[in-house]
């Protein structure tokens, strides 16, 4: 995903949700302009790539892996984006050998056609309506066996959005006309249809056929997110119970994109659900735009979150942007690892800067990210998108956490 100029679109600043006022949490991260990064854990072009037995990568390749494999489990899963006929869809695979080999399970969703009325952000070349395609990408997967509804045990949240149908006269910004899709399954094999768990002010309401009704508009439900023009890159983790007062939860990290700036600003925020992803509450900022600049991102933007646990400890993965964001493929420079404390905040040093536990990068500077990790996938280590051009692939680093 390229969360930059493509998301903004022509003239999109006039559609921003609110004036460009930084969130309160960003202001607390002031300090010296440079954060300390550890020596990178690097690898070169010979690193193995993820292959899925029974599935063939589409013309754009595969990307956006989300691993879920608790320690001690005999079975693990990976959700990922595939690109049949240049479309973006969510697929699922499983492994029974610690991630050495993976087998295709099912397609979780399928790209579909829709018609959008002309006007506002949408230009139809003079027609009253024009074709669009609903796609899904950047899935995040959890197994939630404590959900009282067994049909909701497995959960996948993904970016669902409309894009102009290839070859049509449709013109509108990519990513902006979308929502976060939640799909559930009793076993990982059969999946529910979309529910729009989270949306924002530009989530379309006049589409044929209609999109699912948005359950929560983050811009109106959470004042701290009122300036988020749209959200991208979801990442879930099961927060284990520790006591009667802390019965467990689902953490959901999101990228808040603010489009009134040039370039756009992106921060990573945290929501939490204590009712098995039926509703969410706002927790706070994990990484701010100030953090992004401090960490050396070429713009005030950091994204590509992944949340995972090792034992009782929660961690966050995030990616800095590459200096060259105009490329067709991956726009991320590397993956950074942070610890998340019990309050749901990234641990920081005495100056208030985020503490980076590890940087994962290529020895030759090839773009990688976003990344994912699962404690039970001992044969995998960190994995993530690899390369700067299409078709995309997913590297398997073998580097263990944290």
What digits encode the pLDDT tens for the residues 92-135?
A: 999 999 999 999 999 999 999 999 999 999 999 999 999 999 99
| Segment 155-188, tens digit of pLDDT | 999 999 999 998 899 999 989 999 999 999 999 9
pLDDT, the chain, mean:
89
Q: Could you give the CA distance from residue 304 to residue 372 in angstroms, rounded to a whole number?
A: 9
Q: Is the pLDDT of residue 328 over 80?
A: no
Of 233, 237, 206, the C-alpha closest to 115 is 206
Structural domains of the chain sorted by starting position, each given as residue range(s) with its CATH number in brackets: 5-390 (2.115.10)
Report, as an integer, the average pLDDT of 189-215. Answer: 96
pLDDT reported for residue 325: 56
Q: Is the pLDDT of residue 395 over 80?
A: yes
pLDDT reported for residue 367: 87
| Segment 2-45, tens digit of pLDDT | 444 354 443 332 223 333 333 333 333 344 458 999 999 998 77
| Segment 70-91, tens digit of pLDDT | 888 999 999 999 999 879 999 9
> pTM for the full model?
0.90
């Amino acid at each position: 995903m390229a969360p930059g100029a493509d998301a903004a679109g022509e003239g999109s600043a006039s559609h921003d949700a609110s004036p460009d006022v930084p969130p309160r949490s960003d202001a607390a991260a002031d300090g010296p302009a440079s954060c300390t990064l550890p020596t990178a854990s690097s690898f070169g072009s010979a690193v193995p790539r993820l292959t899925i037995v029974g599935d063939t990568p589409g013309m754009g390749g595969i990307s956006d892996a989300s691993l879920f494999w608790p320690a001690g489990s005999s079975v693990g899963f990976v959700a990922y984006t595939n690109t049949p006929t240049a479309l973006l869809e969510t697929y699922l695979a499983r492994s029974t050998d610690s991630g050495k080999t993976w087998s295709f399970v099912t397609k979780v969703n399928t790209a579909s056609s829709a018609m959008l009325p002309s006007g506002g952000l949408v230009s139809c070349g003079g027609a009253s309506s024009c074709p669009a395609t609903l796609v899904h990408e950047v899935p995040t997967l959890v197994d939630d066996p404590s959900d009282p509804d067994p049909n909701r045990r497995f959960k996948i949240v993904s970016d669902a959005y409309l894009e102009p149908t290839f070859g049509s006269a449709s013109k509108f910004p990519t990513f902006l006309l979308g929502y976060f899709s939640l799909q559930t399954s009793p076993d990982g094999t059969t999946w529910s249809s979309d529910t729009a768990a989270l949306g924002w002010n530009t989530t379309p309401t006049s589409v044929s056929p209609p999109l699912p009704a948005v359950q929560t508009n983050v811009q109106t439900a959470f004042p701290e997110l009122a300036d988020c023009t749209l959200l991208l890159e979801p990442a879930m983790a099961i927060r284990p119970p520790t006591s009667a007062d802390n019965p467990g939860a689902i953490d959901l990290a999101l990228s808040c994109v603010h489009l009134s700036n040039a370039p756009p600003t992106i921060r990573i925020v945290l929501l939490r659900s204590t009712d098995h992803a039926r509703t969410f509450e706002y927790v706070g900022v994990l990484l701010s735009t100030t953090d992004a600049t401090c960490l050396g991102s070429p713009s005030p933007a950091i994204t590509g979150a992944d949340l995972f646990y090792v034992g009782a400890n929660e961690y966050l993965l995030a990616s800095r942007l590459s200096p060259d964001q105009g490329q067709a493929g991956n726009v991320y420079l590397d993956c950074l690892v942070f610890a998340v404390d019990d309050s749901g905040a990234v641990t920081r040093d005495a100056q208030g800067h985020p503490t980076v536990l590890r940087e994962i990068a290529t020895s030759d500077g090839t773009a990688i990210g976003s990344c994912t990790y699962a404690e039970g996938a001992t044969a995998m280590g960190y994995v993530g998108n690899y390369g700067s051009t299409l078709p995309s692939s997913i590297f398997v680093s073998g580097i263990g956490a944290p």
